[in-house]
A and B are shown apart, each in its own frame.
Chain A
Amino acid sequence: MKRCPENDKILLFCEHELSEVERAQFELHIQTCSECREEVKQISSDDSLLREGVEEAFSRHRVTSRIMQQIRSEKIEPLPANNQRGWRYFWLTAFALLTVFAVASLYMPAAVKYHGRATGVMIQALTDNSTLQGAHLAADQTFDLAAFEPAALDGCFLFTVTADQTSVFKISGSTGIRRSEGLLEFFDTTATFELISGARLTIIVNGKRQQLERKTVFSTTAAAIDDLQPDAVSLAGLDRPLTASTTAEADAIITSDEADTASSADQAELASITTGLSAEAGTGSDSLIDQTPGSGKNPFADEPLDLNGN
């Protein structure tokens, strides 16, 4: 059914939202338009019916006397002012402070966390003329520090240190290296350090703690430790193929006691290891180190290391 064009004005008319002129015009219209007249009548009738029905219910269900009776009989008294509002302000203030703190924390740099408790240290020679314990290594040759600790390095090396995170850094120069209380300790060091990737790392260099960070390069010399003699490494017998492997003992992180011992007698220990190397090589053994697989066997050490002629 086609609606009257004036139909849209019905609701406005019922809600008294038409201007005086519009209202007068519409009143004239409904005198001649039965459709609009019926619609207006219907809306008005529905409103009245609703109002009357609710009024009737209200008259039977009003509770004014009950309310006042309860207030009188229970001797209810208004609670002190601001009780509720005080809590509202308290929570609003607390919320505001928390919000400020949360937003501020987004813009503040996170607390710097250095990790350094190394559980695995793999070292890769980067150049042909790099040496381990005085023996030449091939470029890209990789070994586990645990198998040679404390190790004497000279050349250019890439370190992959595994702790709770992994850090990769490069060293160019000569250094001795061992683990001390879980940290990597570089001694007799004349080298340049550069963190390539991964987490920042705490290391000890010539007795001082250093934070090895991304994009930072630092050099150090062993001049300050001039009381130590240069290592005298004997590598007799290293002219034949050798196989490197790890042992449980070698893989284990050294304890602090061990580290202390190591730091106090690193020179002597290095000498004993090099002596051991010479002795084993001298007896014709194919192994540089005991090949018995241990529980902490390093997967990187499965490939035999050919130290001959490199």
Chain B
Amino acid sequence: MNKHERTDQELVQAVLAGELETFAELVERYERLVFSFLLTRLNDLQEVEDIVQETFVKAFRHLASFDCERRFAAWLLTIARNLLIDSRRKAGRSVASTNLVNEVMLTDSAREAGSQPSEIVVRRERFRSIVVMIQELPEELRTPFLMRVINELPYQEIAEILDVPLQTVKNRIFKARGILREKRENYEKMS
């Protein structure tokens, strides 16, 4: 954060003071976090989009109730988690599927344009296996792990967002990495 960048609390106060467009800055800042939080929990990316949108609209609507002593990201994830539970209850789903793998790895990805077809296949298979293994992690390990790897958040920030001690965050991330490593070794032995 550079010195001209406003804090979450300042942005919230600005929105409440009438600067409606300032809310876009909060969306920009945390949309990726909410998106990745929902990514391995939902059936398809369209549903992820809908809940991300609903999360921010709901946050905007209840912005005056936001406790500025809390982290804005933690509050957003609480809203997202509640919407996710509602969504699953309505749809009668309890587990995420791996359909997102097909959506994530686009066939016409610019990044893969210059690659050999065999490389593309291996890469997609590897990505698919990683996603499946992550989805098998317990949520208490999966969430800090994804925050760490995808959002590249420092431990301290993850601890504040999840409201757990710093050491707990470290332990959970190490445990997640250990499980993934073991799964990968088993996967490689089988294939």
Which residues of A come within 8 Å of B, CB atoms?
11, 14-15, 17, 42-43, 46-47, 49-58, 60-64, 66-68, 70-72, 76-85
Contacts and interface: CB of A to CB of B under 8 A. Distances in A.
Interface string B147-186: 0011010000000000000000010011001101100100
Main secondary structure of the interface of B (DSSP, over half): helix
A64 B177 contact: no
B85 interface: no
A288 B62 CA distance: 88
Q: Which 8 A-B pairs have the closest CB atoms?
A: A81-B64, A78-B63, A57-B104, A84-B65, A67-B56, A78-B64, A53-B104, A63-B53
Given A14-B177, A62-B31, A85 B60 contact: no
Interface in B31-66: 31-32, 35-36, 39, 45-46, 48-49, 52-53, 56-57, 60-65
B123 interface: yes
A14 B149 CA distance: 11
Contacts of B60: 67, 71, 76, 78
B106 A56 contact: yes
Contact of B35 (A14, A15, A58, A80): A58
Interface residues of B, number: 52
Given A78-B16, A81-B64, A81-B65, A57 B45 contact: yes
A15 B148 CA distance: 9
Contacts of A61: 35, 45-46, 48-49
21 contacts: A42-B184, A46-B126, A49-B123, A50-B127, A51-B149, A53-B105, A54-B36, A54-B104, A54-B150, A56-B106, A57-B35, A61-B35, A62-B31, A67-B24, A67-B27, A68-B23, A70-B53, A76-B60, A79-B64, A82-B64, A84-B65
Contacts, number: 122
Contact of B149 (A42, A47, A77): A47
B27 to A, nearest CB: 5
B21 interface: yes
Interface string B91-121: 0000000001001111001010000000000
Nearest to B105: A53
